[in-house]
Amino acid sequence: MNRIDTLPPEIELAQLLQKCAAQDTAAFRTLYDKTSPIVFARLLRMLRRRSVAEEVLQDVYVRIWQRASQFEAHRGRALAWMVTIARYCAIDLMRRERMTLVSDDSLGEIADDSATEDGGLEKPNNFDYCIEQLNDNTRKCLTLAFVEGRSHDEIARLTTNPLGSVKSWIRRGLLALKECLSTERQAT
């Protein structure tokens, strides 16, 4: 397999996960082939270093295999579930290693990871509207934390804002986002 034109359908991934739960190694290989380029891209975005991201990618798929039976097809989306496992693995590594996310030589190879036209993970209803309601600083802080795995300290340094402000924007931003999504959900 050399390229992925579109994201694999959710239903197919959910079925593959079910087979993994029954110890079907061929299904696991298929699942890996279909999803690892997306998960790897996500890890690179957070961890920056290719060699580190490769190691964490192994841990991610070990967990996916071990936890496949925990995936609740009726609740969640398979790819989002796997990406969440990847994010937590990356954060765990940063926590263990007290890793500081500094740029290195491998940054160049991921600098152009621009958005694709279609695909991507499904957003909650009205998410775009709700995120637009936040001020620029807050939106930037939330994005740096979630997408790049930056800590409060790193965000303060990167955005040259006081740490207290960053913490406060994040706290208030999360509350505002929750409130907006819940209101919009009720309205729809």
Partner 1 sequence: MKSANRELVDRLAAEYVLGTLRHRARRRFERWLLSPQVGALVKAWEERLAGLEPQLLPVFPPATVWRGIENKLELRKLQRRPVMRWVAIAASLVFFAVVGVFVTRGPEQPQLASTQQSFLEADPQTIYWRVEVLGDNQEISLHVQNVHDLPPGKAHELWALPEGGGAPVSLGLMPHTGDHHRVLNAAQRAALANSKQIAVSLEPEGGSPTGAPTGPVLLVAPLKAV
Does 105 contact partner 1 by CB under 8 A? no
Is the Cβ of residue 11 or residue 23 nearer to partner 1 in the bound state? 23
Token representation of residue 30: 């298929």
Q: Measured from the CB of residue 160, what is the shortest distance to partner 1 in angstroms?
A: 18
> What are the contacts of 161-170 at 24+ separation with CB within 8 A?
161/137, 165/137, 166/141, 169/135, 169/137, 169/138, 169/141, 170/138, 170/141, 170/142, 170/145
d(CA 145, CA 123): 18
Does 115 contact partner 1 by CB under 8 A? yes
Does 147 contact partner 1 by CB under 8 A? yes
Task: Check: CB of residue 38 under 8 Å from CB of residue 87.
Answer: no
Q: Measured from the CB of residue 137, what is the shortest distance to partner 1 in angstroms?
A: 15
Task: Check: CB of residue 156 under 8 Å from CB of residue 166.
Answer: yes
Does 123 contact partner 1 by CB under 8 A? yes
Choosing from 10, 15, 18, 40, the residue that interacts with partner 1 (CB under 8 A) is 40
Task: Check: CB of residue 63 under 8 Å from CB of residue 85.
Answer: yes
Token representation of residue 160: 């040259």
Q: Measured from the CB of residue 45, what is the shortest distance to partner 1 in angstroms?
A: 6
Ranges within 169-188 binding partner 1 (CB under 8 A) = 170-171, 174, 177-178, 181
Stretch that binds partner 1, among 9-17, 56-64, 157-165 (CB under 8 A): 56-64
Look at residues 100, 108, 97, 112 and name the one whose alpha carbon lies nearest to residue 158: 100
CA 55 to chain centre: 17
Helix axes 136-148, 25-47, angle to 10 degrees: 130
Does 91 contact partner 1 by CB under 8 A? yes
Stretch that binds partner 1, among 11-19, 87-95, 156-164 (CB under 8 A): 87-95
Residues near partner 1 (CB under 8 A) are 2-4, 23, 25-26, 28-29, 32, 36-38, 40-42, 44-45, 54-55, 57-58, 61-63, 65-67, 69-70, 75, 77, 80, 83-84, 87, 91, 94-95, 110, 112-116, 119-124, 127-128, 131, 142-143, 145-147, 149, 151-152, 170-171, 174, 177-178, 181
